[in-house]
C-alpha cells in the first residue's frame, strides 16, 4: 500500500479524510457500516475503507455521476473553484490529520452473508403493490433464485455469472424510512465484495434467434420493461448497470462474457443523465476514429425510451403505458432536441463534452443562504405574485446577483420567499422542488423559507410564472389532477370554478360542471396493510392492481366474474375505483381509503375560489 509519506504534497492534501471534513463542517450523514450516506443528498455515499486497492477515503455521487477524493468532494459538493478547494485543504490539514483510519482487508463476496428466508410476503408486496410488477413475474423471479427476501425484509437481486454462480447482488429496502434513509426513503446498496463491472441480469428467449441485449440503470427498470414489452421477442438479455454515465465498462464486461449481440438496446432513464449515458455508451463501444473493438461494429445500437412524460420504465409501468420509441442515433438526437428544448439540450451536450455525465444542476449552497444586498424594484408581474403570496402571509423579494462576486459566475438572480407560518408554503415548495431544470436552476429551503436561484436575470419572468403556478396548485388541490372518462380518455384539470376546464391528452379542451367532473377525478389513496398496520400512500393504478391480485388469488368463478366487471364493464372512474376498494376491503389483506388531501369536493373548491 502506498503510504501518505510517499505521496506528493498535492496528493497528500487531496487524499485527506472526507469523514473528518463532514464532522468538522457539521454536514449530517447516516452511517451504514464503513459507508456514510449524506442526509441532504442521499445518493452521495462516502466509502471510509482504506484498502490496498483504495488507499484513501472516496465518495461517489450517483445522481451526478461524479466521485473521487476530498478535493473532488469540495469541487462537486461544496461547488468550490480549484484554488479555493486547495486553500481549504491546506487550512484544514491540521484538523483533518486527526482522522481515524479504517484500514480493512478486501474480502471476496460471500453469499452466506446474504441469506434469505422462506417468507417472501414483504418483498413480494413491495414489487407488486409499490412497483407494479406482475405477480406471476415476481413468483418466477423467486422460483429461479434471481431474487430473495433477506431476514430483515429487504429485497436482494442476485448477480449470476455464465455458470449461474452468485457473484454479488443489489440490496433494495422494502420499508420506507425517510428519517433513516433520507429522500430516497429506503435502503439501497451493493452487497460487500460484489465483483466489479457486473450487475443483475436475466434472459428470455422465444427461439427466434435474434440476439438482443437491453441495458438499464437498475434491476427494477429492467423488470419493468420486460413486464411491459416481453412480447417484443428474440433471444433477449436484460442487464442493470446500477447507474448511467459512468458504468459503461459493465456493458463491455457483459459482452465479453456472454457474446456480441445482434442488437444492443440502450434503455436508460428519460433524463439528462440517461441521455448522456447512452451517448457515452455509443461513443465508447463504437468510436468514430479509433477502433479498439472491431468485433462490435456489426452490432446495431438502438436507443429505447418510454413516453416523454415518464422519467423511467417503472414510472411507465405504474401508469400501464406501453408507449415507447426505439431509435437509431440520428433519430434519438432529433427526438431529444425536441423533448428537452434547445436551451436544455445545448446545456446537456456541453456537459457531455466536458465529461459531466450525471444530472448536473448548479448548486448555490447546501445551506439556505442569508438574504444579500442588491434587492431591486420589480415590475407589475412581480407585484401580482407578491400579492398572491401575501394572501397566505408569505413574503417575496428579488435579489440581483450579477454584481455579487460570490454568485455572479453561476447565477443572475434569486427570489427569497419568507414562509411566515403559511399553511400553503410546504405544498408550494413541493411543487417547485419537482420542477425540471430550466429557468429555475436550484431551490434551497428550510421550514422558514426558501430561495429560488435563477441562471440569468432575463429568466425572472419564467420563474415568477412557476412560483404563481405552484402557489395556485397549493391553494387549489384539484388543479393539475388527472381525470379519466369511461371510454378511457384521460386529461388534466386546468381550471376550476362553476365551469371547470379539462385539457385532454389529445390537446382538446372540454367544459364540465362541478358535479359531472367529480365523477371522473382520479384520487390518491391510503393503504393500511393488516399484517403490520402501517399506513402507506398508493395511486389509483396501485389500487386497481391490488384488487385484481386479490381476485386472482381466490381461484373461483365468482371472483373471475368480479374481475371481468371491474376491468371491462363501462362505468365512471369513481365507480370503478369504489368497486376496487370494496374488493380489497373485503379481503384479509389490507384496508384502502381515498387520501383526504386529494378528495376535495368540487362544490367546496368553487366556494373557496370565489371567496
- CATH number for the domain spanning 17: value is 3.90.580.10
Domain membership of residue 12 (yes or no) is yes
Q: How many CA atoms lie within 13 A of 387 on its CB side?
A: 7
pLDDT of amino acid 389? 92
**Residue 178 pLDDT exceeds 70:** no
Question: Could you tell me the pLDDT band of residue 363, with boundaries at 50, 70 and 90?
Answer: very low
> Residue 266's domain is classified under what CATH number?
3.40.1360.10
Question: Are 104 and 90 contacting, i.e. CB atoms less than 8 angstroms apart?
Answer: no
Q: What pLDDT was estimated at residue 483?
A: 79
- Residue 143: pLDDT band with limits 50, 70, 90: very high
Residue 286 and residue 394 in one domain: no
Work out the burial of residue 28: count CB atoms within 10 Å of its CB; fewer than 13 is exposed, 13-18 middle, 19 or more buried: exposed
Look at residues 58, 87, 103 and tell me which one is the last residue of a structural domain. Answer: 103
- The yes-or-no verdict on residue 122 having pLDDT over 60 is yes
Of the listed ranges 55-69, 428-442, 570-584, the least confidently predicted one is 428-442
Same domain, 248 and 326: yes
Taking CA atoms, 97 is separated from 8, 13, 29, 88, 504, in Å, by 16, 10, 20, 14, 62
| Residues 334 and 469 occupy one common structural domain | no
pLDDT in tens, 479-536: 777 777 877 787 888 777 777 888 887 888 888 887 777 777 777 778 887 766 667 7
Residue 185 shares a structural domain with residue 202: no
Separation CA 310–CA 271 (nearest Å): 9
DSSP secondary structure letter of residue 131:
S
pLDDT of residue 327: 92
Q: Report whether pLDDT(304) > 70.
A: yes
**What is the distance, to the nearest Å, from the Cα of residue 263 to the centroid of all Cα atoms in its chain?**
27
pLDDT bucket at 602, cuts 50 / 70 / 90: very low
Total domains, the chain: 5
Domain boundary among 145, 168, 195: 195
Question: pLDDT per residue over 30-40, tens digit each?
Answer: 887 778 888 87
Which whole-number Å values give the CA distances from 432 to 444, 465, 471, 474, 575, in the listed order?
A: 11, 11, 9, 11, 33
Domain assignment present for 402: yes
Asked if the structure places residue 485 within a domain, the reply is: no
Q: What is the CATH number of the domain that holds 467?
A: 3.30.1360
Distance CA(201)–CA(459), nearest Å, equals 44
- Percent of the chain topping pLDDT 70: 84
Say what the pLDDT of residue 293 is: 66
- 242 and 322 in a single domain? The answer is yes
Q: How confident is the model at residue 606 (pLDDT cuts 50, 70, 90)?
A: very low
**pLDDT recorded at residue 57:** 92
- The pTM score is 0.51
Q: Is the pLDDT of residue 439 over 70?
A: no
Q: Are residues 226 and 188 in the same domain?
A: no
Tell me which residue of 374, 381, 458 sits closest to 416, measured CA to CA.
374
Taking each helix axis from N to C end, the angle separating 82-96 and 18-25, rounded to the nearest 10 degrees, works out to 90
Mean pLDDT over 458-484 rounds to: 80
Q: Rounded to an integer, what distance in angstroms lies between the CA atom of residue 404 and that of residue 426?
A: 29
How does the average pLDDT of the chain come out, rounded?
80
Indicate the SS3 state at residue 196: coil
Q: Both 49 and 146 in a single domain?
A: no
Question: Computed from CA positions of residues 4, 10, 11, 14, in that sequence, does the dihedral angle turn out positive or negative?
Answer: positive
Please list the residues that pair with 116 across neighbouring strands: 150
Final residue before a domain boundary, out of 87, 103, 119? 103
Kindly state whether residues 349 and 201 are assigned to the same domain: yes
* Span 78-84, average pLDDT: 88
Structural domain for 426, as ranges: 380-475
So what's the pLDDT on residue 370? 39
Closest alpha carbon to 327 in 306, 344, 343: 306
pLDDT of residue 300: 92
Residue 374 lies in a domain: no
Among 84, 88, 80, 77, smallest CA distance to 39 is for 77
pLDDT digits (tens, 9 = 90+) for 233-266: 888 999 998 765 456 778 888 888 888 999 999 9
Grid coordinates belonging to 226 = 420486460
Do residues 350 and 384 share a domain?
A: no
Cα-based angle 153, 159, 162 (whole degrees, multiple of 5): 150
Same domain? 308 vs 217? yes
User: Is 461 among the domain residues?
Assistant: yes
- 510: in domain: no
pLDDT band at 605 (very low <50, low <70, confident <90, very high): very low
pLDDT band at 313 (very low <50, low <70, confident <90, very high): very high
Q: Residue 253: its pLDDT value, please?
A: 85
If you write DSSP's letter for every residue of 11-50 in order, what string do you get? HHHHTS-HHHHHHHHT--EEEETTEEEESSSTTEEEE-EE
- Residue 569 or residue 394, greater confidence: 394
| Neighbour tally for 40: CB within 10 Å | 14
Q: What is the pLDDT of residue 182?
A: 55
Give the gyration radius of the chain's Cα atoms. Answer: 26
Q: Given this model, what pLDDT does residue 358 score? A: 53
What was the pLDDT predicted at 167? 92
The residue among 590, 578, 527, 524 whose CA lies nearest residue 553 is 590
Position 484 in a domain: no
In degrees, rounded to 5, the angle at the alpha carbon of residue 548 between the alpha carbons of residues 543 and 550 is 95
Same domain? 189 vs 276? no
Q: In which element (H, E) is residue 189 found? A: strand 188-190
Round to whole Å and give the CA distance between 240 and 266. 11
Answer yes or no: is 600 within a domain: no
Same domain as 30, residue 91? yes
Amino acid at each position: 500500500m502506498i503510504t501518505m509519506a510517499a505521496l506528493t504534497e498535492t496528493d497528500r492534501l487531496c487524499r485527506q479524510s472526507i469523514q473528518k471534513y463532514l464532522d468538522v463542517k457539521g454536514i449530517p450523514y447516516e452511517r451504514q457500516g464503513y459507508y456514510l450516506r449524506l442526509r441532504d443528498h442521499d445518493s452521495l455515499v462516502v466509502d471510509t475503507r482504506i484498502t490496498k486497492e483504495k488507499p484513501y477515503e472516496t465518495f461517489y455521487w450517483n445522481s451526478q455521476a461524479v466521485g473521487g477524493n476530498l478535493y473532488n468532494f469540495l469541487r462537486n459538493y461544496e461547488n468550490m473553484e480549484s484554488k479555493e478547494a486547495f486553500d481549504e485543504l491546506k487550512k484544514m490539514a491540521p484538523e483533518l490529520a486527526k482522522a481515524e483510519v479504517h484500514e480493512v482487508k478486501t474480502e471476496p463476496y460471500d453469499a452466506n452473508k446474504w441469506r434469505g428466508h422462506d417468507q417472501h410476503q414483504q418483498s413480494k408486496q413491495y414489487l407488486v403493490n409499490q412497483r407494479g410488477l406482475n405477480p406471476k413475474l415476481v413468483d418466477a423471479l423467486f422460483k429461479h433464485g434471481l431474487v430473495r427476501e433477506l431476514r430483515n425484509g429487504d429485497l436482494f437481486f442476485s448477480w449470476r455469472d455464465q455458470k449461474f454462480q452468485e457473484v454479488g447482488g443489489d440490496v433494495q429496502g422494502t420499508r420506507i424510512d425517510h428519517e433513516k434513509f433520507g429522500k430516497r426513503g429506503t435502503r439501497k446498496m451493493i452487497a460487500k465484495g460484489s465483483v466489479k463491472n457486473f450487475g443483475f441480469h436475466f434472459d428470455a428467449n422465444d427461439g427466434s434467434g435474434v440476439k438482443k441485449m437491453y441495458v438499464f440503470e437498475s434491476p427494477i427498470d429492467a423488470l419493468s420493461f420486460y413486464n411491459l414489452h416481453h412480447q417484443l421477442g428474440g433471444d433477449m438479455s436484460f442487464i442493470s448497470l446500477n447507474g448511467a454515465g459512468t458504468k459503461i465498462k459493465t456493458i463491455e464486461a457483459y459482452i465479453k462474457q456472454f457474446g456480441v449481440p445482434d442488437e444492443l438496446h440502450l434503455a436508460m432513464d428519460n433524463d439528462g443523465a440517461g441521455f448522456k449515458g447512452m451517448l457515452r455508451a455509443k461513443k465508447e463501444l463504437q468510436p468514430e476514429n479509433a477502433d479498439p473493438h472491431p468485433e462490435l461494429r456489426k452490432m446495431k445500437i438502438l436507443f429505447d425510451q418510454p413516453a416523454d412524460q415518464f422519467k423511467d420504465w417503472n414510472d411507465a409501468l405504474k401508469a400501464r403505458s406501453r408507449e415507447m420509441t426505439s431509435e437509431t442515433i440520428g433519430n434519438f438526437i432529433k427526438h431529444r432536441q425536441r423533448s428537452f428544448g434547445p436551451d436544455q439540450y445545448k446545456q446537456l451536450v456541453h456537459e457531455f463534452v466536458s465529461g459531466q455525465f450525471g444530472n448536473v444542476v448548479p448548486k448555490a449552497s447546501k445551506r439556505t443562504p442569508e438574504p444579500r444586498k442588491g434587492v431591486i424594484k420589480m415590475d407589475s408581474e412581480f407585484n401580482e405574485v407578491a400579492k398572491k403570496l401575501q394572501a397566505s402571509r408569505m413574503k417575496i423579494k428579488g435579489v440581483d446577483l450579477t454584481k455579487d462576486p460570490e454568485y455572479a459566475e453561476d447565477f443572475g438572480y434569486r427570489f427569497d420567499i419568507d414562509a411566515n407560518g403559511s399553511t400553503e408554503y410546504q405544498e408550494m415548495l413541493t411543487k417547485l422542488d419537482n420542477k425540471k431544470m430550466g429557468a429555475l436552476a436550484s431551490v434551497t429551503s428550510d421550514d422558514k423559507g426558501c430561495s429560488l436561484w435563477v441562471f440569468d436575470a432575463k429568466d425572472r419572468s419564467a420563474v415568477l410564472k412557476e412560483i404563481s403556478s405552484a402557489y395556485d396548485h397549493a391553494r387549489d388541490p384539484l388543479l393539475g389532477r388527472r381525470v379519466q372518462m369511461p371510454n378511457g380518455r384521460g386529461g388534466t384539470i386546468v381550471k376550476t370554478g362553476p365551469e371547470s376546464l379539462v385539457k385532454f391528452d389529445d390537446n382538446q379542451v372540454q367544459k364540465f360542471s362541478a358535479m359531472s367532473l367529480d365523477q371522473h377525478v382520479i384520487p390518491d389513496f391510503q393503504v393500511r396493510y393488516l399484517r403490520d398496520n402501517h399506513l402507506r400512500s398508493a395511486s389509483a393504478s396501485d389500487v386497481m392492481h391490488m384488487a385484481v391480485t386479490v381476485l386472482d388469488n381466490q381461484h373461483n368463478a365468482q371472483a373471475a366474474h368480479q374481475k371481468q366487471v371491474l376491468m371491462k364493464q363501462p362505468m365512471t372512474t369513481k365507480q370503478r375505483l369504489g368497486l376496487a376498494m370494496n374488493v380489497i376491503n373485503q379481503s384479509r389483506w389490507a384496508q384502502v381509503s381515498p387520501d383526504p388531501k386529494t378528495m376535495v369536493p368540487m362544490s367546496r373548491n368553487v366556494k373557496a375560489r370565489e371567496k
